[in-house]
Chains A and B, each alone.
Chain A
Amino acid sequence: MRQKRSEIYSVELSGTKDIVRTDQGDDKEKYRGLKNNCLERKKKNQEEDFQKELQLDDHKLNNRELEKKYGTNIIMGLSSTRAAELLARDGPNSLTPPKQTPEIVKFLKQMVGGFSILLWVGAFLCWIAYGIQYSSDKSASLNNVYLGSVLVLVVILTGVFAYYQEAKSTNIMSSFNKMIPQQALVIRDSEKKTIPAEQLVVGDIVEVKGGDQIPADIRVLSSQGCRVDNSSLTGESEPQPRSSEFTHENPLETKNICFYSTTCLEGTVTGMVINTGDRTIIGHIASLASGVGNEKTPIAIEIEHFVHIVAGVAVSIGILFFIIAVSMKYRVLDSLIFLIGIIVANVPEGLLGTVTVTLSLTAKRMAKKNCLVKNLEAVETLGSTSIICSDKTGTLTQNRMTVAHLWFDNQIFVADTSEDHSNQVFDQSSSTWASLSKIITLCNRAEFKPGQENVPIMKKAVIGDASETALLKFSEVILGDVMEIRKRNRKVVEIPFNSTNKFQLSIHETDDPHDKRFLMVMKGAPERILEKCSTIMINGEEHPLDKSTAKTFHTAYMELGGLGERVLGFCHLYLPADEFPETYSFDIDAMNFPTSNLCFVGLLSMIDPPRSTVPDAVTKCRSAGIKVIMVTGDHPITAKAIAKSVGIISANSETVEDIAHRLNIPVEQVNQRDAKAAIVTGMELKDMSLEQLDEILANYQEIVFARTSPQQKLIIVEGCQRQDAVVAVTGDGVNDSPALKKADIGIAMGIAGSDAAKNAADMVLLDDNFASIVTGVEEGRLIFDNLKKTIAYTLTKNIAELCPFLIYIIAGLPLPIGTITILFIDLGTDIIPSIALAYEKAESDIMNRKPRHKKKDRLVNKPLAVYSYLHIGLMQALGAFLVYFTVYAQEGFLPHTLINLRVEWENDNVNDLEDHYGQEWTRYQREYLEWTGYTAFFVGILVQQIADLIIRKTRRNSIFQQGLFRNKVIWVGIASQIIIGLILSYGLGSVTALNFTMLRAQYWFVAVPHAILIWVYDEVRKLFIRLYPGSWWDKNMYY
């Protein structure tokens, strides 16, 4: 893998640099801890490398040189044979998917991961034991072979299950990735042909029209009004014009190159393919993304930690008792079999499967809430998130321009910017508004696409740019059918908006049949519009535009601009009927109509407004101790305005600049500590050392990064991770993918996101909504709590399963519970209840506590293990032993007669073993009694596991506070436990191999007092925890 990657790099890099880079890849972590200069070098290198990879000079060449370089003809295109040769040489024009782990390797990994290795050891020990027995006695019983096979079966089954789960969750994602095969219009053999884009080769002449994706890196030869959306590559959201002129040294900046996977928005372009497949710019970035290591997810670390603890306990108890058994003069072979029993009793075979199911249940639940989780473990990662680096556009905002404010009659009015615009409350009675609304309606080229009669206005598709769309929808909502109004006011002539004029103008007939005047309406940049006006309309009357009114205009303009909004000015003029009769012919080139001394009507400002759910979500994040950082390519003022309106910068906090402005002192004199918020631009970030960045990240609670490039996102993410934070990053562009990969949890946007971003992310937000992340966080935290409960529940019975072996070895009782019976608990009765805990509701508001510290707050901590093993587990063991002793005593073997009975009991030649009452038992009769004992012990554990399940519903609150019946699934779990137990005992009691017998009904109730005791004890524990928070009890008993 590594070898392969460095090959990709070396395509463009010099030899020495290549070595440096590979080194860095290997020692990334080491470098991080080293001195700053080293880090800076790394940062610099990264940028340099990125530039280096773009060594293209095709944009500097002229057409003739290009034809020569690529051996093609601009008019005739390549010949088919030549194209086929090139295709054979360069391979198809598609990105090599990241190397997948082969399925078989994935499968085998499941087979040896986690506890499987312990069970393999157990199985092999079984077979070895049989081998030894067989070599000394040909008629040795096959029990050990069966047990070994059962263990292997368990490993394989759990492995297959885990593999299946993983494959299923990967499938969800891969279905998402499927793309429709792209077509390209290419000139070959002087003919225009449509071929799959994959078959393009360098030198091909392709034609691309508006709406298509650019099929490869192409050098523009000719274009007509072509604009491309490069946002996925560079993060610029503005459409970029493309033409054949060479305008910039940097291939990324020059106008005559279009990049693979970007979109042509409008116009047409003809160009020559200069790079295909992995050699395109995107291809390079994609390989850069795969170079960024994926960090292990927190839950994976936790599970590993847990497996280590349990395996450690299993192995050390096993070996300890092996030694004890050997020194007690047991045969080594018997001691080996004890060892297997201890391992099996200690390993919660079903747990890892349960965890997987629990996670995928939550993943499903999250998918319902629009978070599609690609990697199951990411579910919990989201819960431990402590910093969210969020995009602005589309995530925090609605991603559409919307009218936010109006200014007329010397007053600013607020428009409703919520998703449906339903609540427009500003004063619409003024006749100024009547005039303004007319201008808004008429001076607008945008139109609804036909056939959307039943679509709500805000959701209708529109032909036209963002601002015009905003105005169209705004007027449609307030005035009703805009098209009808336009029809009544027939358009005579118009001048569309262009960047030199900075205004748009149209002349209409009026809808008043008695008024023969023409109405000229105009909108544009406010200062330009004001220049053209001599009067201003106030309360429907024209007033001369004097200095004071001009001043109020400027204040309003500055205020709206300061909110980060795009402001437009509107004016009109009724052309006098005598000068401009109905038959007058307007000529836009000659401009035979007045464009000055107009009447100023009002201002209107637009913004991409925040989604209405976001402010709430940000508040929730804040109370949950999660820092929300906005990273955007937008202008700082807009960024700040949005940050303020969604609460990323809270109402009462100021930036250094704000303080300076308020106190009227230079920025340098402001005490940095006074400011809570910071706005950092990409330019500032570029000049910052890593320490300075760390300082900013650590010291400011509220940070906005504006005008940043997607590459800088990676630096910000790394900075956050240096603070030991679990970082969630949202992104949509291709260039975000390194940051998405680097983040602990990368969140891609489902609607706006590019495929590369979705590929690199761990999670996809289907509705692009920030609020969905917060829901995800909540689910993630809940699942962490519930996993704790599941694990505590599962670990408890391990002691009850282990004690029998220890007692068996030390006190020589007939074996209380068999290995196979243990497997029936671990993989039978306990599975559904432990999954049921995943449905448990949160105990308290989990969004009001700090995110968990990934190194301190473990999933399985000491109190959890101690409480499960040494408190509840022990009580359970005692309860189960009570049932066991009862069965033996009532059949004639009183407890004291059992001690040290093991050797005689298990001797096949003793067929007249005398019990307490003088009766004599054959070996098989004893064995049957032993199985009844297994069943009794099993039932004892089962009954107490029901109590265990109920107490695990909460960790702090009383069960009665939580509600005994709120989680119905728990009861399903309990029912399943009982039903499986009944089936095993009464249904399969006659199947000898399973070692179950039909148990008398009353034995089911023997352990009930112990079960009740467990419940009472746990209630007392919780009561003291609630009564004395922070006390010795709390510290030792709260898990």
Chain B
Amino acid sequence: MATAIVSSARQVGRLTSAARRLYSDVYPKITTHYTIHPRDKDPRWKDISMERVAEETDILIIGGGPAGMAAAIRARQIAEEKGAEVRVTLLEKAAEAGGHILSGACVDPIALNELIPDWKDKGAPMNTPVTSDKFGLLTKSGRIPIPVFPGLPNYNHGNYVVRLGHLVKWLSEQAEAVGAEVWPGCAGADLLFRDDGSLKGVATGDVGIAKDGSPKDMFERGMEFHSKITIFAEGCHGHLTKMVSNKYNLREKSEPQSYGIGLKELWEVAPENHKPGLVEHTIGWPLDKNTYGGSFIYHLNVEEGEAPLVATGFVVGLDYTNPYISPFREFQRFKLHPYIKPMFEGGTRIAYGARALVEGGWQCLPVPVFPGGCLAGDTAGFLNVPRIKGTHNAMKSGMLAAESAMELILSGEATHEQGVTPSTYEDKLRESYVYKELKQVRNCRPSFHTSLGLYGGVAYSAFSTMMRGKEPWTLSHGGADHAKLKPAKEYQPIEYPKPDGVITFDLLSSVALTGTNHEADQPPHLTLKDDSVPVKRNLGIFDGPEARFCPAGVYEFVPMETGEGQRLQINAQNCIHCKTCDIKDPSQNINWVVPEGGGGPAYNGM
């Protein structure tokens, strides 16, 4: 009996030391960012002055995409009309306006027509009116065409194919022309609150913090912007929006937001393959019926002497369940389909990028207003999934936010001392096409969640479109994307084809095309709440999905130097600010915070 106890104790001892080797509690420290390791308790920061310079502005806009720019322009237009002195300040984290913009894009001009009716005379880069739509269901070796006709959400007559980054750059010039201040290279990092809990403004990020979290010689504190109204227009899954939504419980009554990841490439194609104005979409292969997603191929008009340009990309719904899915590799193998491949033969890939997109729609809308500010554009989630369009709603919401903000400022209700809630913004959204569109299409995306998968979704969406969304029920998305990932043991790894370097490419050469870069000596901005979770849980249960869903190779599981077990290596410099990791991490351990301003991709007209 005693021997039995002793020997089983020895067994337990052997097992625990084996466990300790495989899952050592001594994890290499990964996260050094001050949001996880506060500086007020850190002895290295004892003598550093944390004072910040402060500036007052009337309207502060965080994010220089279509929503933010439209808000800035509209606010200044109203100021001009009323002869009022109103300061409008816009902060954008990219080094240049348009630098972090990535979209298909096929844009409905309805919002721009309202904002700047003479956009054509002013030289807006919208030069490709849509001439035809094609839609098809891909099978492994074939394609079943699906007709597109007026009335369907993907009928694009009257819309334009654009390089959204160039359009945003043009919008920033328009914003400056009407007197808005646009500050690229400035990352909004911290929220500032008044004593009554209302939002006072935003502080830009500190610079000059070393990788280990200590202050460098050239450490400089960010500056504070105190505003009467702050409009958050950070695009899909904004990091400040995440904080604001938590602080003011904006998502209390909303379903968890649902997302997709969109990857995109720009190709110079052979002239015979170039059909300017053609908008083409596919669903089906290479995704299985239970994974939402599809492709786009948009042909752009080009100037005389320029090479024929085609924008192509692939979206994978982030509610996918198979942890072995790599959205990047799905995109690459999609290009090998016999119907698709000829398009790219003889062509040259000239750009690559990726960004998460918001797909939740109506059920996932947060309350878009709070004391001191509001949310505009994709950060609130106004993308219309069946139409595959969000830019027009983003711009319209930016304009409505500006209108509400200006009403409150000009009436004197919104002041620096008192944060008011711009509730009229929510009313305006409700009365506008933004909410009407979203309500009408609310049931399409969730209809893909049944066991009928893709086919159920297409069938139901056709039905809902015919009903114009008037069916009296609202389907649910069924929970957050990150919770839907299933353990790796329920699936088999996917055999993706090797990149051929001509039509399909490897991840790292693709990342090089994004032009992304960050100051190397700074704390990784992909922060982990718990440094031990990636190996223990993400790798242990899900076989490290972050190494597969990150479109920039930020996350790598590498062998420990001591040779036992693995550790997570975060290559923060590669990050292209797509936000997918923050969304899809099954442990919700990754918190994306903003790196030093100016870092990130250098997209040119993406």
Q: Is the pairing of A and B real?
A: no
